[in-house]
Amino acid sequence: MENNLNLNLKVWRQKNAKDKGGFEEYKLSEISTDMSFLEMFDVLNERLIVEGKDPVAFDHDCREGICGACSMFINGRPHGPKQAVTTCQLHMRSFKDGETIVVEPWRAEPFPVIKDLVVDRSAFDRIMSAGGFVSINTGNAQDANAIPISKENADEAFAAAACIGCGACVAACKNASAMLFVSAKVSQFALLPQGQPERSARVMEMVAQMDNEGFGACTNTGACSAECPKEISLTHIARMNRDYLMAELTSNK
């Protein structure tokens, strides 16, 4: 049987990065517990449009937990109260009737607010452009299993590649560190033979770009991994630190 909720929303509204911004409160009634969190926002925005008001800007695309666009800070947690889910995978049955829900954008200097709940995460794109790729000529596609890769390495590389770059790790970190994101993108290549020729250059260039973007330092609180919707492991940070140290020791620069 479908249940409905009456909710109080406190939503951050901000015109642009230079605007001071502030919370606005909305009351919603008869919200189905079967709705996703983004569908609830669709209902709110439809009402605001009918009332002639500016709808709340929020980012989304796949609504399947794949793209990482639905970056909302909900009641003090990235993507909300559930473990290993993105905002679009969060359903209203996770909340109680009469509850007040506070929704904010990611809070990090390298993620400037574009409008309301939408932030500019192009800093991640620039980090990837610095080294998150394999540029060697791989030639024609090889037969399956032509390059021996242990199952352990293959599984760990796949787990690292599961990172969707949503930025929850940055939002959760008290220092706004991007180490979990960068280390996952470094690891997905470092664990495979195809990534070995550029392994040293990759880690140095991606870390340098991360620092240039203004992300904070990692102090190993573990909040990033705890709030990651894909549960990316902290072991990737340790691997990246080892690779970076080795790259510095062997660098000719």
Q: Does pTM surpass 0.85?
A: yes
Residue 4 is classified by DSSP as E
Which residues are paired to 4 by β-bridges?
A: 32
For residue 139, the model assigns a pLDDT of 73
Residue 220 sits at φ, ψ, to 5 deg, of 60, 40
pLDDT higher than threshold 60 for residue 235: yes
Q: Which residues contact 222 (CB under 8 A, 6 or more apart)?
A: 234
For residue 145, the model assigns a pLDDT of 77
Q: Specify the domain boundaries for CATH 1.10.1060.10 within the chain.
A: 122-250
For residue 2, the model assigns a pLDDT of 62
Which residues are paired to 5 by β-bridges?
A: 31
Residue 95 is classified by DSSP as S
pLDDT higher than threshold 70 for residue 252: no
Q: Specify the domain boundaries for CATH 3.10.20.30 within the chain.
A: 4-104
For residue 1, the model assigns a pLDDT of 47
pLDDT higher than threshold 80 for residue 5: yes
pLDDT higher than threshold 60 for residue 253: no
User: What average pLDDT does the segment 103-128 reach?
Assistant: 98
CA distance 190 to 202: 9
Long-range contacts, 157-163 (Cβ 8 Å, 24+): 157/187, 157/188, 157/189, 157/191, 157/192, 158/188, 159/232, 159/233, 160/184, 160/185, 160/187, 160/188, 160/191, 160/232, 160/236, 161/188, 162/230, 162/232, 163/188, 163/228, 163/230, 163/232
For residue 147, the model assigns a pLDDT of 82
The second-level CATH assignment, the architecture, of 4-104 is Roll (3.10)
User: What average pLDDT does the segment 225-230 reach?
Assistant: 97
pLDDT higher than threshold 90 for residue 251: no
**Which pLDDT tens digit goes with each residue over 21-74?**
999 999 999 999 999 999 999 999 999 999 999 999 999 999 999 999 999 999
Q: Domain 122-250 classified CATH 3.40.50.300? A: no
Mean pLDDT, the chain, rounded, equals: 95
- Whole-number percent of the chain with pLDDT over 70: 98
pLDDT higher than threshold 60 for residue 181: yes
End-to-end alpha-carbon separation of the chain, Å? 67
User: What average pLDDT does the segment 217-246 reach?
Assistant: 97
Q: Which residues contact 79 (CB under 8 A, 6 or more apart)?
A: 70, 71, 72, 85, 86, 87, 90, 166, 168, 227, 229
Q: Which residues contact 206 (CB under 8 A, 6 or more apart)?
A: 127, 128, 130, 131, 132, 182, 185, 186
Which residues are paired to 23 by β-bridges?
A: 12
